[in-house]
Amino acid sequence: MSLPIRNLAIIAHVDHGKTTLVDALLKQSGIFREGEDIPDCVMDSNDLERERGITILSKNTAVSYKDILINIVDTPGHADFGGEVERVLGMVDGCILIVDANEGPMPQTRFVLKKALEKGLRPIVVVNKIDRPNVEPDTAVDQVFDLFVELGADDDQCDFTTLYASGMQGFAKESLDDEDADMQPLFEAIIHHVPPPAGDPEKPLQLQVTTLDYSDYLGRIVIGRIHNGVIKAGQQAALVKEDGKIVKAKISKLMGFEGLARVEIPEAKAGNLVAVAGFGDANIGETITSPEDPQALPLIKVDEPTLQMTFSVNNSPFAGQEGTYVTSRQIRDRFDRELETNVALRIEDGESAEQFLVSGRGELHLGILIETMRREGYEFQVSQPQVIYREMNGQPCEPYEYLVLDVPEDAVGSCIERLGQRKGEMQDMQTGINGRTQLEFVVPARGLIGFRGEFIRISRGEGIMNHSFLEYRPLCGDLETRYNGVITAFEEGTATFYALKNAEDRGVFFITPGTKVYKGMIVGEHNRPQDLDLNVCKAKQLTNHRAASGDELVQLQTPVEMSLERALEYIGPDELVEVTPESIRLRKVKTKKLAKR
């Protein structure tokens, strides 16, 4: 007898409408009360997710259709958050692959789909955004089939079910000729094509921890799937740790999922996704099992990090002025909490007690961690991202990325030239509609550090850039990624309009008049390869012939705004980004000595 449960993951590239489609499923399933205020992108609950329009943390929800409980897991589309993807795919028995009707499958679709196919999942393909003009849904389906073959899908996986949908309009249909109605065809496809969960309620309990949460009232909450057996609130259970050690505890609270809420339940059987309180030291991948017959499930394997940065205590002349948490002990405690839930992160001690080596999947992965910490009140400084080298078959190797650019025709030559300088190898070039060209490259990961800002300038903001980890290959030699020097402040003080205006011919500035600066702080980019010390605090000497009102009609060039991501990409090996809750500053490492005087 099949269980009245379906567990599935939603897979899609960034901005292909994954979260919007889940919104439509939730709204049409009847879980919201009539008249209830329903936000858009309900699954993207994190502030950073809403601001950036991307999914960072995997989350699950549940809807009922024809007395069948459908557990839906929303996965991140970006390869930098692959650690989230890998651990949740073990919770599901099927998946929905969403592709844009115009763009087709993109690089990060490839990353998550490869993981799903390796686990034997058979995807339902949903061609989304068919309500947009100039779409080519049939071409998108052909590209999906080619991608399946390329990724080594078996015959059953290649014989996928296809639906055409619009998450924004709230409909799905089996054929392009069908009428636009509702999401019922997608619900039906889930029931018929996603297999019910395997698992035997008669066997001893086995529940694998895939996500961790925290409650002020319940302490650590573990979320996972029951592979075998039955779990009950109040029962005694055992936790099999990563090292094989067994810890016994009582299940203080058992919760299931209903819509976006967790609801307390008395018991749950094999195949269900549940949240459990009572295991204060459980970690991801470990197994909650029967104390009489403890049997561990295989640990979750996560790809190793490819990028590393040094986090350290801020020691600039402005240290401690803006942050709440500034000491190495506070930063270490914050990292310890992050490691409990972020399985793709690695943290080691640095050269001194005030330094930490933090390794992650990419600049976005580490950038999200930095942004989250600064919003929580932490103040620290970070070094230039460095790729992690490995020795394979006795040969030093470095990570390579698969890069796809979608650019206007007039930017194609410049993109090929710049990536050639960064040791990129072009794999394919296709001219699409509306005078745009798609370029595919294989490029060393360190060749992409700092490239995004350059790419935006080359394409005048009209280009789209996506990349994902490919593999480790032998070292490709030296790379030059920045050709201009920087302008640094000559002394501590406040930048003046007069000084910045007089130095405009030296380069572009990152600051505005009134910005507080210190010696060694980077305030702009020099026109030439050498670094330049500049007095940006110099004031105009006022006399009878030099009136203060004389500058009113004169305007400064617009400064370059240094966001966190842009700053991380921009800095060189001898430079740091100073991160505080209020400011992002760039500086030279050598100012460290000045701060101690």
18 annotated to a ligand binding site: yes
User: How many beta carbons lie within 10 A of that of residue 73, not counting itself?
Assistant: 26
∠ CA 366-592-512, nearest 5°, is 70
361, 390 Cβ separation under 8 angstroms? no
Terminal alpha carbon distance of the chain: 76
269 annotated to a ligand binding site: no
293 annotated to a ligand binding site: no
515 annotated to a ligand binding site: no
Rounded Cα–Cα distance for residues 61 and 64 (Å): 11
7 annotated to a ligand binding site: no
- The alpha helices in 294-438, defined as continuous H runs, are 328-341, 363-375, 412-421
446, 387 Cβ separation under 8 angstroms? yes
Rounded Cα–Cα distance for residues 495 and 521 (Å): 12
221 annotated to a ligand binding site: no
- Could you tell me the two tokens for 184? 């019922």
Torsion angle of the four alpha carbons 207, 208, 211, 213, in this order, in degrees rounded to the nearest 10: 40
178 annotated to a ligand binding site: no
Measuring CA to CA, how many Å separate 70 from each of 270, 308, 432?
Answer: 15, 39, 38
- Could you tell me the two tokens for 443? 């490029």
DSSP code for 199: -
114 annotated to a ligand binding site: no
496 annotated to a ligand binding site: no
Name residue 550's beta-bridge partners.
none
100 annotated to a ligand binding site: no
Name residue 226's beta-bridge partners.
207
Measuring CA to CA, how many Å separate 183 from each of 81, 180, 479?
Answer: 29, 9, 51
Measuring CA to CA, how many Å separate 284 from each of 116, 390, 501?
Answer: 19, 26, 55
- Let me know if 156 is exposed, middle or buried by CB neighbors in 10 A (0-12, 13-18, 19+): exposed
Residues 6 or more apart from 87 whose CB is under 8 A from it? 58, 210, 211, 284, 285, 300, 302, 343
DSSP code for 435: T
348, 311 Cβ separation under 8 angstroms? no
The residue among 89, 55, 112 whose CA lies nearest residue 469 is 112
Residue 579's identity, in one-letter code, is V
Name the binding residues for GTP.
Answer: 15-20, 128-131
Name the binding residues.
Answer: 15-20, 128-131
